[in-house]
Amino acid sequence: MGGNRKNCYIVDTLNTRMKFKLFLSILVLVQTCMFLNLKAQGLLIKRASTPITIDGIMDEDAWEEADIADGFNQIFPYDSSAALTPTEVRMTYDDDFIYVMAIMYSENPHDVVVSSLRRDYKGDAYDGFTVVLDTYKDKTNAFVFGLNPFGVQREGLITNGGNSSSSNNGVSSFSLTWDNKWYSEAKIYDEYWIAEMAIPFKTIRYKENMDSWLINFYRIDSHYEEKSTWAPIPRNLEVLNLSFNKELKWDKPLQNPGQNISLIPYMAVKTSKDHEGQTPSQTKFSIGGDAKIALSSSLNLDLTVNPDFSQVETDQQVTNLDRFEIYFPEQRQFFLENADLFASFGSSDARPFFSRRIGVARDTSTGTNIMNPLYFGGRMSGNINNKWRVGVMSIQAAEEKDINLPSTNYTVASVQHRIGQRSNIAAMIVSKQAFQDSIGGDFTTNPAAWNRTVAVDLNLATPDAKWSGKGYYHHSFDPDGMDSTFSYGATANYQTYRWQINSDYQSIGANYNPEAGFTPRTDFHQLRSTVYYNLYPSKGPIQSHAPGFDFDVLGNKTYGNTDWDINLRYRIDFRNTAEFNMSLRRQYIYLFRSFDPSGSDGLKLPEDSEYAYNYIEAEYKSSKRKSFFYEFSTKSGQYFNGTRVNLEGTLSYRFIPWAVTSVNFEYNRIRLPEPYNDSNLYLIGPKFDFTFTKNIFWTTYIQYNSQINNMNVNTRFQWRYQPVSDLYIVYTDNYFAGIDNRFIDFNRPKFRALAIKLTYWLNL
């Protein structure tokens, strides 16, 4: 910027540290006065009078004419004063783009903290600027675009009003896995850094003829350990909470952006060898792709033919000492936009639809999951108007002759109606329908193999975000026509400056069976609640701390109470972004089925036995502002009829901005009385993440899991040669581990695969 700046509010001659601090103090004083006056006006966005070049230099006349959003307010560590580091934001637009220019003043902008050069960074310790666009003014869903000082992009979607996962039954309200095309640049100067963005109207969804949106900006400044927002948000809430956004006023009502079609073809070649099954090597070439077609400015149609999901990273392995299935989140792009229309029904323990059931089949003879290719699929989702949202999806999965699985159709339809400012009622039907009377037969419906689920949810939230909750009823249907195929429940959440209370009740029938959903356990009713009382010291290293209490009671009509736990909790949030949590737990479990708690396939504890025991849970996360950062946690103490010592965590070191190396580890030392097994379970996962540029990445995972006797090596090279267009080279190798006391047996490979994939995003 420098000599190109024409505005009188920039004093380029302030070269000394003393003058800069004086300048900074004046800005803070002015913004504090603005804060005390509680200014609530919005921002006017006017059409650009001159072309905009995305270069991180504010030298266009259109920026001089644009309104300024300033007066940012702290949300962390305090929320009662203006930000220590001033921020100024301007916006303008033309026929194709929304433009954003942000100036972030800083005492030393060259000494910034970033995670790496990898896109979709996240965390509260890294310098960055973020735009939140609530294009429907529903205070429920929004688009997020962010930039760090090195020009690394991130984009994501907000659902459920940006409420924390604790008030959404463990469902995250913010996802960075959504990917789309936009443009940006960042530059660092002596006394500030600049973020400049161009967001295509065709990238986002909105209702035409609207004359205003809701918007917020937030900034993280690592030097002052500060988070600040343009629209003030209480510090007891998440920074992405949509309840307090201000108005973005357009000088003219928005029109339809015109034809909006994107084609995303791919080509892939894969070669693999199953050494464990002693099958011949296989090489497969595939071609297919996706299409995104805007039916209107707010309604989108996604199509996919012979889709391939090899770009999805391998899930991080975990040690499973639970009696039930573990949930892994969806990461595939086809399912992400408007995902809440399908995925937000029910609770974390009773989801009527779970998209990761599609594309995966179960080999009942071996108990393992296998990839199930998909022929084609279609997905329409979006807003009809400000009150109604719809989602319809249908996907046809291929037959699997080896496991006698016919081709299967998955169809889901949902509708959501807004009530008031932040509430809605939603309904969904899920259908899983087998085709073909016999494998290799005619492509006809098999009337004897189907499963349906009907769901109705009522989601409630007050405008001030103090209260939120939901009530739901779901029912599954299958050819057997059994009873007790229901799931229902209710949640209530209360969050103020001092109090955080989350409560919920759910009941799941013995024969509830949503085959395309996620319900790891049936035949139970459950009541649970968590209470925290927040305290905020006025000085010192602690930003907030809170004693807490919770309980969880679960049972059924047959056995009475089968599980309960009660916990005394304490949590501490530090000003340097470190966190500490501790819980003293008393737990009771009644085993209605036999179970081996050692996780080693040993002698099982008998059914109809019961256990009550005490243990401690603790977790510490260090500040990620440092080059070396770490996380430790433990669940140790009594364990069923024995003891357990657990230690897990991550050690990381960052070479800003080129690389991050880390080691995930988990150790469980389980001791049970004779004749039951003792066990020592290890899981170690080194990771090397190199970001050579903002477009070239190389990541290698090594995951050793003694519980499943496996060593996995996964290395992935990615070159983003154009926006949202990538070349992937992925190599996977699996070995037997832990044989003859060896950490890895290189002479006993299990499975090897090499995949090369090329994708291209083409706008028509």
Interval 233-286: pLDDT, tens: 999 999 999 999 999 999 999 988 888 999 999 999 999 888 777 788 889 898
Quick check: 440 pLDDT over 60?
no
Q: Are 650 and 664 in contact (CB under 8 A)?
A: yes
Rounded CA separation 240/145 (Å)? 12
Question: Does residue 445 carry a pLDDT above 50?
Answer: yes
Q: Are strands 87-93 and 43-47 parallel, antiparallel or unpaired?
A: parallel
What confidence tier does 315 reach under pLDDT thresholds 50, 70, 90? very low
pLDDT, position 64? 93
pLDDT at 669 over 60: yes
Q: Is 628 exposed, middle or buried (0-12, 13-18, 19+ CB in 10 A)?
A: exposed
Across the range 715-719, mean pLDDT stands at 94
Q: What is the pLDDT of residue 123?
A: 85
Question: Is 165's pLDDT higher than 60?
Answer: no
Is residue 265 within 8 A of residue 304, CB to CB? The reply is no
* pLDDT at residue 91, as a whole number: 97
Task: For strands 445-461 and 486-495, give the pairing.
Answer: unpaired
- pLDDT attached to residue 327: 53
Indicate if the pLDDT at residue 5 is higher than 80. no
Mean pLDDT within 118-130: 91
Tell whether omega for the bond before 520 is within 30 degrees of 0, i.e. cis: no
Q: What is the pTM of this model?
A: 0.86
44 φ, ψ (degrees, to nearest 5): -90, 130
CA 542 – CA 523 distance, rounded (Å): 44
How big, in percent rounded to 5, are the helix, strand and coil portions of the chain? 5, 50, 40
pLDDT of residue 10: 37
pLDDT tens digits for range 392-430:
999 998 888 877 788 899 999 999 999 988 899 999 999
Q: Evaluate whether 117 touches 657 at the Cβ level (below 8 Å).
A: yes
Residue 617 pLDDT > 70: yes
The residues pairing with 649 across neighbouring beta strands, listed in sequence order, are 632, 665
The pLDDT of 184-197, averaged and rounded, is 96
pLDDT digits (tens, 9 = 90+) for 627-653: 999 999 999 999 999 999 999 999 999
Q: Are 732 and 751 in contact (CB under 8 A)?
A: yes
Residue 286, beta-bridge partner list: 268
Mean pLDDT of the chain: 87
Q: What is the pLDDT of residue 192?
A: 95
Q: Tell me the per-residue pLDDT of 675-694, one tens digit each, with 9 for 90 and over.
A: 999 999 988 999 999 999 99
Share of the chain above pLDDT 70, in %: 87
Give me the mean pLDDT over the 470-492 stretch. Answer: 93
Q: What is the mean pLDDT of the segment spanning 108-116?
A: 90
Sorting pLDDT into bands at 50, 70 and 90, what band is 438? low
Question: Confidence class of residue 360 from pLDDT cuts 50, 70 and 90?
Answer: confident
Q: What's the whole-number mean pLDDT along residues 275-303?
A: 88
Question: For residues 347 and 493, what is the distance between their CA atoms, to the nearest angstrom?
Answer: 14
pLDDT band at residue 337 using 50, 70 and 90 as cut-offs: confident
pLDDT for residue 599? 86
Mean pLDDT in residue range 738-763: 77
Residues whose CB is less than 8 angstroms from the CB of residue 638 and which lie 6 or more positions away in sequence, other chains included? 613, 614, 615, 644
Is the separation of the CB atoms in 394 and 414 below 8 Å? no
d(CA 468, CA 527): 17
Question: Domains of the chain (ranges plus CATH)?
Answer: 2-14+43-68+87-224 (2.60.40), 329-522 (no CATH), 532-708 (no CATH)
